[in-house]
Amino acid sequence: MLRVSVLDKTWQWESSYHGVGVILMDPVDTILLRLSVPYLDAARAVAAEEFEAFLGHRAELVPVFFHPWKNNWLPDLDPSISEMVPGFDRLAPFTGVGWLAQGVHEVGLIDSWESANILPERGRSLCVRLLERAPRLRLCGGGRWSWPANASTDSETQLTALLAAE
């Protein structure tokens, strides 16, 4: 029997190769202990600060769930990044929970002409900065993600969807 999660029922799936965002990188146990609106707000604030420092301007961050499919860039693709997040599993609970930076494109951050599996230096620098913060975050993107169909960008909507997911 096919099970449909609340993400499939209440969020819309998008596919685009022009998306960069961040995902939660705290261990699952930490996420479970802290999962709340203030925790999600704090993570979003960290992402906003780092993107603004990196880009020189604010980026609108929309709550999303990055799908774990092989074409999404997640930390396990680049060996130098995966070493910093041992035990990362793209199929683990909460993997892919994060925010899409509206108007920020992959080129030069997670996409390089040399390799799809090696982060460009600019992206690596941002990844390292995100990991050093709390809550811990990681650069990700590409491929496929879902976001609230009602266009809500608040943490309460994001938390409700996460807690209701099957």
* Segment 32-89, tens digit of pLDDT: 999 999 999 999 999 999 999 988 888 889 888 888 876 677 777 778 888 888 888 8
Q: Please, which pLDDT band fits residue 19 given cuts at 50, 70 and 90?
A: confident
Assess if residue 80 is contained within a domain.
yes
Give the Å distances, CA to CA, from 141 to 51, 86, 160. 14, 19, 23
Quote the domain boundaries for residue 27.
6-164
pLDDT at position 75, please? 77
Q: Is the peptide bond before 63 cis (omega within 30 degrees of 0)?
A: no
pLDDT at position 53, please? 92
Across 50-69, b (16+ Cβ under 10 Å) vs e yields bbeebeeeebebbbbbbbbe
Assess if residue 42 is contained within a domain.
yes
pLDDT at position 152, please? 63
Assess if residue 33 is contained within a domain.
yes
DSSP-assigned states of every residue in 78-94: SHHHHTTSTT--TTSTT
CA distance 161 to 4: 13
pLDDT at position 44, please? 95
pTM value > 0.75: yes
pLDDT digits (tens, 9 = 90+) for 75-133: 777 788 888 888 888 888 888 889 988 878 776 677 765 666 777 888 888 888 999 99
pLDDT at position 50, please? 93
CA distance 151 to 140: 21
pLDDT at position 46, please? 96
- The burial class, CB within 10 Å (0-12 / 13-18 / 19+), for 112 is middle
CA distance 122 to 111: 10
When divided into structural domains, the chain yields a total of 1
Among the listed residues 90, 86, 75, 50, the one whose alpha carbon sits nearest the alpha carbon of residue 139: 75
Indicate whether 1 pLDDT > 50: no
Assess if residue 1 is contained within a domain.
no
